[in-house]
A and B are shown apart, each in its own frame.
Chain A
Amino acid sequence: MNEKNATRYQQRILAHYEQHQQSDRPTLILGIETSCDETSASVIKDGRVILSNIIASQADIHKRFGGVVPEVASRRHVENITLTIEESLQEAGVTLDDISAIAVTYGPGLVGALLVGVAAAKAISYARGIPLIGVHHIAGHIYANRLVTEMEFPLISLVVSGGHTELVYMDQHGSFEILGETRDDAAGEAYDKVARALSLPYPGGPHIDRLAHEGTPNVPLPRVWLEPDSYDFSFSGLKSAVLNTLHNAEQRGERIEPANLAASFQASVVEVLVEKTIRAAKAKQARQILLAGGVAANKGLREALTARCEQEGLTLIIPPLSLCTDNAAMIAAAGYISYQQGRFASLDLNGVPGLSLTEPF
């Protein structure tokens, strides 16, 4: 940065960074996450220790609409944002004076929702001269694992959520290579659609998971492996097969036990996710497999992946349920890596709904 042409903001950020680097105080990152329907703020010490992780969930508000309504979510974010951040500092027992940097999710997600968190983060960064870091939401989900266990490279992360199904390869901190991703529906999306067909309430994932454990997987459903060497996924065919099975049975006047159908659907999804993950881990000689994203809360997936990893002698890390769903602790944990690398965002940081994981900010 050219000192003479630098704005006052850039000068203040640099001074703040140098002062915090020189002090022997711990590095505290304030994380902010508003990409979907959770307003969350968190303070993380040295990238790994959670001092606070406040989540103002809107799940109850969106339940009545049968899904997240972007405009409703965005309105709640504005109402909650400063309150949530304040609570995160209070619970951590710190003030903004102690914060080394602010890390905020800037994509992917709902654009109107993202913009609230991004605006708040930039405003506080500017007002207080605290460095600003933009974090990819999926990088956050992967780094949720670092709040539990130190990462060892190379590693493979299976990211599964309502909007994502990805196999990510990492050979060092902050570096992400997408080995495979869904070509149509995300796994969580397929869960929600099948749940709707079975008249289960929103969000459908937990209900299918519960029902699957009561049933027997005896309904024949396809496994979509795509090309033999592909790490990509496809769930829309499976979803259609479930709907067709229900429809055909109805026309014949037969009844399919919903628990058995749920068990069969889950078995198909889980088998493909698990086997592709294991294959990728072996091919890349991964030292760890990390499970990440909201669907990591799925019991069927956790059990199957745990069993296969034991069988193959692979190390599996699964974050606790509270860190699987959207939260700001994981965003701060991912932001800590950028902080160590001195990679900061500028005041024109924008919310990017379709942000790519491999795109540096």
Chain B
Amino acid sequence: MRVLAFDTSSPVLTVAVADESRVLGEWTTNLNKNHSVTLMDGISALLDEIKTDPDQLTAIAVGQGPGSYTGVRIGVSTAKSMAWSLGIPVIGVSTLETIAMNAIGFGGLIVPLFDARRGQVYTGCWDSVEMTSLRSVLDERIILLRDWLPQVLEQAAGRPVLFLGDDVSLHRAVIEEMVGEQARFAPSGLNHPRAAQIAWLGMQKLEQADAPDTHAVNPEYLQVSEAEAKWLANQQK
């Protein structure tokens, strides 16, 4: 098994190749929003560096969001097109779970988040099953942070809660106010999605179930578009 993994859902661009036992290479930047220009060259450079041609890949794993709509689409369109043209499986992985993986082994709840404007966040909640896997405690969603934190606290039942993600700094005051001494904040190296984690999560999924239909692998936006939401609201009037 040789898996190419990448994610373009946030300002982070991350690409990795891994097999069952080790990560062969990983490349990550956290400043470039123009993933359309840089993603393919990034993949090409990494594969050249580890002397791998695309036809040696056996699967592709991609972060399917949530995050920037355009960013997620660049990653997912690239992943499903590559996988389809190579005749190999493509697996979508949650970008939030990918970040949560950075803190596997933490002895409390792990809450990664992306800012979604107007006090909202894209978020989810996991806890660790020792060092081997994560268990989802609350489903991923877009929600007002002030509505989210009480639910997390209830699940925490007194345990510490680790907040992950570069956008945590935007919301730190609210988190400290509402979570108090149970709140933990991570060193910066744990805050961004890493493609090596996507590769690992993708391989886990492939072990547990059949690969999904390539055509049906699509972004997880977690909300309908604004135009569709308005239209639906008008229909219900």
Contacts and interface: CB of A to CB of B under 8 A. Distances in A.
A127 B6 CA distance: 15
B223 to A, nearest CB: 11
Interface in B1-60: 34, 36-41, 43-45, 47-48, 53-55
A225 interface: no
Contacts of B219: 75, 78
Contact of B231 (A65, A116, A122, A351): A65
B203 interface: no
A81 B54 contact: no
Nearest to B215: A83
11 contacts: A9-B44, A9-B48, A71-B69, A71-B225, A71-B226, A78-B80, A79-B218, A115-B70, A119-B74, A123-B77, A350-B36
Given A128-B86, A350-B36, A74 B215 contact: no
Contacts of A7: 44-45, 48
A126 B73 contact: no
Contacts of A74: 69-70, 73
Interface string B80-108: 11101110000000000000000000000
B54 A126 contact: yes
B77 A75 contact: no
A78 B225 contact: no
A82 B86 CA distance: 12
A96 B39 CA distance: 23
A121 B84 CA distance: 12
B131 interface: no
Contact of B85 (A77, A128, A348): A128
The secondary structure that dominates the B interface is helix
A289 B48 CA distance: 49
A72 interface: yes
B228 interface: yes
Interface residues of A, number: 39
B214 interface: yes
Interface string A50-82: 000000000000001100010110110111011
A95 to B, nearest CB: 10
Interface in A132-152: none
A103 to B, nearest CB: 15
Contact of B48 (A8, A116, A122, A350): A8
Interface string B118-134: 00000000000000000
A69 B227 contact: yes
Contacts, number: 117
A112 interface: yes
A124 B80 CA distance: 10
B73 A115 contact: yes
Contact of B81 (A9, A119, A348): A119
B76 interface: yes
Q: Which 3 A-B pairs have the closest CB atoms?
A: A123-B81, A347-B40, A119-B77
B227 A71 contact: yes
Contacts of B48: 7-9
A171 B173 CA distance: 65
Nearest to A80: B215
A212 to B, nearest CB: 31
A8 B226 CA distance: 43
A69 B41 CA distance: 31
A83 B215 CA distance: 6
Interface string A308-352: 000000000000000000000000000000000000000110110
B43 A126 contact: yes
Interface in A75-94: 75, 77-79, 81-83, 85-86
A83 B48 CA distance: 29
A121 B36 CA distance: 12
A98 B47 CA distance: 25
Contact of B74 (A115, A121, A126, A127): A115
B78 interface: yes
Contacts of A122: 40, 78
B44 A78 contact: no
B54 to A, nearest CB: 5
Contact of A81 (B45, B69, B81): B81
Interface in A239-284: none
